[in-house]
Amino acid sequence: MNYLLPILAYILGSIPFGLVVGKLGYGIDIREHGSGNLGGTNSFRTLGVKAGIIVTLGDILKGTLAASLPLLFDTNQNILFIGLFAVIGHIFPVFAKFKGGKAVATSAGVILCYEPLLFAFVLLCFFICLYITKYVSLSSMVTGVLTFIYTLFKQDYMLIMIIGLIVAFVIYRHRANITRILNKTEPKVTFLSGKKK
């Protein structure tokens, strides 16, 4: 096994775009504001729409690039397996004291590399659920479950296993959000209007 690619994927996943954009563009450590999370949602709420879009795209693309490493290095290592290390890097980033985001966007980036049609399905499910519920966290979890169900209809056991692991990661990382949703204290989206919170 080539151990270089998992390490590179982890390093790519560890790039904290929320932290970088916040500090360089706004002089703000995003970890000290909002939910304290390094992901796109807190970037939208804390820094605004433009920053949120940049952070989200960065998180997606680092997953895509990490999953592309087997293609770039012309190895037979599984794209999803290597991409999983980017997801782990995003959750436990070496560049941010191992306290990262919830891996939704990075996971979507891995899926984009592996199967663009499935990525489109993920986006559709997410935005429909977001439109209905106004909860980013709930939309992320529901989308994850629907994506896993989608994989069950395909005879791709690696896809089923990796997506299952990713969905487990996503739900586990949202456990505090689940409590707030049940208590009706989870904030609904306001950043789509361009207002900072």
Q: Are the CB atoms for 101 and 87 separated by under 8 Å? A: no
Tens of pLDDT along 112-151?
999 999 999 999 999 999 999 999 999 999 999 999 999 9
Q: Are the CB atoms for 39 and 118 separated by under 8 Å? A: no
Give the pLDDT of residue 121.
96
Give the pLDDT of residue 1.
57
Asked if the model's pLDDT at residue 197 lies above 50, the reply is no
Asked if the model's pLDDT at residue 195 lies above 50, the reply is no
- Model pTM score: 0.91
Tens of pLDDT along 145-193?
999 999 999 889 999 999 999 999 999 999 999 999 999 999 888 644 4
Give the pLDDT of residue 194.
44
Q: What angle is formed at CA 55 by the lines to CA 47 and CA 37, rounded to 5 degrees?
A: 70
Q: Are the CB atoms for 38 and 101 separated by under 8 Å? A: yes
Contacts of residue 177, defined as CB under 8 A and 6 or more positions apart, other chains included, come to 135, 137, 138, 186
Instruction: Express as a percent the part of the chain with pLDDT over 70.
Output: 95
Instruction: Express as a percent the part of the chain with pLDDT over 90.
Output: 80
Q: Region 13-30: what's the mean pLDDT? A: 94
**Residue with tokens 């989200």, as numbered in its chain:** 56
Average confidence score pLDDT of the chain: 92
Q: Where are the domains of the chain?
A: 4-193
Alpha helix ranges (H) inside 27-135: 40-47, 49-72, 79-91, 104-114, 116-133
